[in-house]
Structures are given as C-alpha cells and as structure tokens.
Amino acid sequence: MPVHPIEERYGTDQMRAVWNEENRFSCIVAAEAALARAEAAHGMIPQADADAIAAHASGASLARAKEIEAEINHDMMAIVRAISEVCGDAGRWVHYGATSNDILDTATGLQLGQALDLLDEKLRVLLASLLDRANETKTLVCVGRTHGQHGVPTTYGLRFAIWASEVGRHIERLAQLRPRVVVGQMTGAVGTQAALGAKGIEIQATMMNLLGLGAVDVSNQVISRDRYAEYFMFLANVATTLDKIGIELRSLQRTEIGEVEEAFGARQVGSSTMPHKRNPIKSEQVCGLARIVRSSIDPALANNTLWDERDLTNSSCERIIFPEASILTDHCLRLMTIVIRGLVINRAAIRRNLNFLHGINMAESVMIELTKKGMGRQDAHEHVRIASMQALAEERSLAEVLISDPAIVRYCSKQDIERLLAPDSYIGTSVQQVERVIARLSPLCIVP
C-alpha cells in the first residue's frame, strides 16, 4: 500500500522511474561497468576481465543485492557482491580502487541527467502554452492591480508574456547548471586516488566519458554538495514561478473578479456540500506542493557541511529529498501546463472590471497629458489626485469631476478628458513587448 503521495497521487511515471530503486540500481551497475572499462583502458586490470564485467554486470539483480545487504548491512558492498557473482572470475575486479560514493554519487549524476532532461522538456512545453496564450490575448486590455487595488490598464498578453519570460530563464538556468550538477567522480577513499595510482585522473576522465558525465575537478570521499544544492534551488525557483502563476489565477478566479477560470469538467464536483462550486483546485495544488519543494533547500544546503572528508548525515535525507522534490516539481510543471491550456478567459468580466471605477484608474493618463500641455508635473499630480479622491468619495465618474476644475480644463477639453480616460488607448508598448518575447522564446518551445 502506498505511503507517500508521490507513489500514486502526485507525479509522472517518467520522473518516478528516474528515482525508483530499480533505476538507481541500474545506474550503479552502469557505473561499476564503466569503471572496469576505464581501468582496463589504462592498464589497471585485464581487458578480458573488463569486457566480461561490461557484458555480464547487467545480469545482477536488485533482489539478490537486497538478500546480501540483509546479511552484511552495507548497501553498496551488497551490490558489489551481487555484480561479482554474475561476472565469474572477472568479478574479482569489480569496484577495484573505488569507494562507495565514487559509485553512488556517479549514479546520482546519471539520475540527475535523466531528471533534468524531463524537466527541460516540460519547461519547454509550458513555455509553448504560455506563448500561445500571450499571442491570443496580446490586445486584450484589462485592469492592472498593484497592492490589490486597481491601477492603470495592462493586457492579458503582457501577463502571459511575463510568465513565459520567467520560464525561459529557467530553461537557461537548467542549461547552465547541468555541467555543474551532472557529474561523477572516481577519487577513492578520501579523494587522493591513491588506490588508482598515477593514472587516477585519466581513469576518472575515461570512466565519466563512457557514462556521458562531467568529471569533478577535485573531491574528498563525496562530491561536494554545493552542486546538488544548486539543483534543489533550481527546483525551488521553478516551483515558485508556478506558485506565482497559480496564485494570480486563483485571485482572478475569485467570484467577485471572475476574469479567468480553470477548465471544469462536465461531471466534475466542486464541493461535497455546495453543488455550485467551481474551485481552482489544480492551481491550489501547485501552490501547496511548491511549499514542499522549497523546503528541500535547507537540508540540501546542510548536506554540504559534512565532517572532515565525509560523514553519512547527507545520505538519509538525500534518499528523501531527491525523489520528492524532483517528482513534485515535474508534477507541478505538467499540472500548470494543463491549467494554462484549458484556462477559460471571461472577456465580459474583464471589461466590467476595467470600467469598475468609472475612469478613476486612468488618472495617470490625465496627469501625463496635463504636464505635456504646460502644467507642472507636481501640480498636475495634485489636481488629479484631489479629483480622484472626490470621485471615489462621491461615487462619480472621474471625467465629471475633472471638467469642474478650471485649472484642468484650461489645458484639457472635455473631449480630451474623455479620450484620456479610454483604457484601450493607454497600454503603451505592451503589444510590441509581447511580440518581442514571442519572437525571442519561440525557438525554445516544444509543442506536444
């Protein structure tokens, strides 16, 4: 029976497969086979024995390794023995010159490469969805909000483009961190490569080349965990972008705002007691799970502060945070892509909210025009501020109050004021900005 929700409720089969024990075992076996091949290439062990290990190591079973571990209480040595058993006489060379974390951390490098491949793909798919919505809504004018209050107009296209730009930076970050994170090591008991002799550096380089990994420049018994901490901070950064999008969509779906709505199935139930409810549950799930992903940062950073050449305090929590944070981030990327693709946009509500303050949110437009026509900027700000406060207090349109101020009508006619208070004409370069983002980021997209 599943215990953790990532076993059956959250996550994709692909990312779970990266972090399950079968794949972990396969990566360890691959690292041992690559070590033997590298050592043979540099004359450390017989070529025939290395060939035998490479040919037969994959025949080792996880079940047999677990049987051995139950007897000896050492997980890595149990795998070494399980591999040795299927390699015949050549088995005597398995793990030659290595310490446990040479193999374990190298296997982690393989898993991180696989995980980053999946995350990269999902980021690019989400980017495509955001750019599609940005292009679709680049001229859809809506009210902008600062501090939760109505401000000057913006466009939905600009909102989607801002999110897309953020996702684009995550794709860049992923490419930048990959060479620091997707690495392995073969440095021996405390990092000196003493067991490998004079050719230790060459053996490490050959082994990592065979595995498609980068090689550490220097290490002690373990790969320095600053590398892994960067991975977790990347996951937290991605999750926080998704959290940011989710919070905005949830806010815009509030009944009294009602500008967007998550897609709602014909037979979907929103509440066990309130039949009318249509809740933004996918966005809420993303926002909630982002908290868990962010919580992995503290143990990831603490894992870099080990005693001397190493201790074991990193091992237990890494068994939890690697699969958990990776699977949840992957899940949230998939879920938010579904939300963006299916998002229902209520244009009538957008227009209603845009006109809600009867022009008061367009006060800046009038202030700017008054300044252009000769009134001092500070004087213009004060006249329009007073008019706006009066309009709010008296529940009148801003135009009505403005035209009663002789200082204002001296510079702007009634027709000017009505033109200045039209929200569709006050979106600046937002359309061009959106088009620029689309042109720049479209080559990064994957369209499923």
Per-residue pLDDT reduced to its tens digit, 339-369? 999 999 999 999 999 999 999 999 999 999 9
Residue 395's alpha-carbon distances to 1, 22, 146, 354, 360, in angstroms, are 61, 68, 21, 16, 10
Distance CA 259, CA 127 (A): 22
Whether the full predicted model's pTM is greater than 0.85, yes or no, is: yes
Catalytic residue (one of 4, 58, 74, 271): 271
Q: CB of 350 within 8 A of CB of 140?
A: yes
Per-residue pLDDT at 275: 72
Give the residue carrying structure tokens 């026509």: 373
Identify residue 142 by its one-letter amino acid code.
Answer: C
Poorest-pLDDT segment among 12-26, 27-41, 150-164, 376-390: 376-390
Which residues lie closer than 8 Å to 328 by C-beta, 6 or more apart? 6, 10, 11, 239, 289, 292, 293
User: 278 pLDDT band (50/70/90 cuts)?
Assistant: confident
Give dist(CA 115, CA 430) in Å, integer: 36
Do 12 and 334 meet the contact criterion of CB atoms below 8 Å apart? yes
pLDDT, tens only, 191-203: 999 999 999 999 9
The verdict on whether 331 is a catalytic residue reads no
Contact criterion met (CB below 8 Å) for 223 and 215 = no
Backbone angle region of 386, left / alpha / beta, with phi > 0 → left and psi within -120 to 50 → alpha: alpha
Indicate whether 292 pLDDT > 80.
yes
**Among residues of the chain, what percentage have pLDDT more than 90?**
89
Exposed / middle / buried, residue 2 (Cβ in 10 Å: 0-12, 13-18, 19+): exposed
- Give CA separation, 364 vs 149, 370, 387, in Å: 14, 10, 12
Q: How confident is the model at residue 287 (pLDDT cuts 50, 70, 90)?
A: very high
Measured CA to CA in angstroms, residue 163 lies from 25, 41, 47, 106, 304 at distances of 38, 49, 54, 35, 32
Looking at this protein, which amino acid is placed at residue 90?
Answer: A
First CA to last CA across the chain, in angstroms?
34
Length of the chain: 448
Question: Where do we find the tokens 């992957």?
Answer: 330
Which pLDDT band, with edges at 50, 70 and 90, does 272 fall under? Answer: low
β-sheet bridge partners, residue 260: 345
Contact present, 242 and 286 (Cβ < 8 Å): yes
Residue 68 to residues 60, 61, 74: CA-CA distances in angstroms? 12, 11, 9
The confidence score (pLDDT) of residue 29 equals 98
pLDDT band at 261 (very low <50, low <70, confident <90, very high): very high
79-120 tens-digit pLDDT: 999 999 999 999 999 999 999 999 999 999 999 999 999 999
Alpha-carbon span 80 to 376, nearest angstrom: 81
Q: Please say if 388 is a catalytic residue.
A: no
Residue 33 pLDDT: 98
Is residue 328 within 8 Å of 10, Cβ to Cβ? Answer: yes
Q: Which of 147, 272, 276, 316 is catalytic?
A: 147
